[in-house]
Amino acid sequence: MATPKKGRKRDYRREYDTYHGTKEQRARRVARDLSRRKVQMKKLGRLKKTGEKGLKGDVHHKDHNPLNKSYANLSLISVYKNRSDNKKTKTKTKTKTKTKAKSRARTKKA
């Protein structure tokens, strides 16, 4: 979500109605919650009690798909690494940026 301009208050109700409350986003949030519980059960052998410290770190989806909850796709990594790494998805944009950098280097030489 874009941050509001100075002087404007953020409309959380509108945000929920237009984005967070949609069927797709609700399904993704539920899938992430279930993945967190699944990893917690595997690591601790039980669910955490209220007030008890849980797992240290984030549950990482290796294929960046929160709907894929298989154990092979889940891992527990540090918060810093997960939040910085999740922006890198396997798309064509990666290859485009590499080719743009190469073309810029060629133009500088000429």
Residue 52's pLDDT band, with cuts at 50, 70 and 90, is confident
Higher model confidence: residue 11 or residue 4?
A: 11
Who has greater pLDDT, 102 or 49?
49
Residues in CB range of 83: below 8 A, 6 or more apart: 58
Q: Which two tokens stand for residue 110?
A: 């000429």
pLDDT at 8 over 70: yes
Q: Is residue 23 over pLDDT 60?
A: yes
Binned at pLDDT 50, 70 and 90, residue 11 comes out as very high
- Overall pTM surpassing 0.75 (yes/no): no
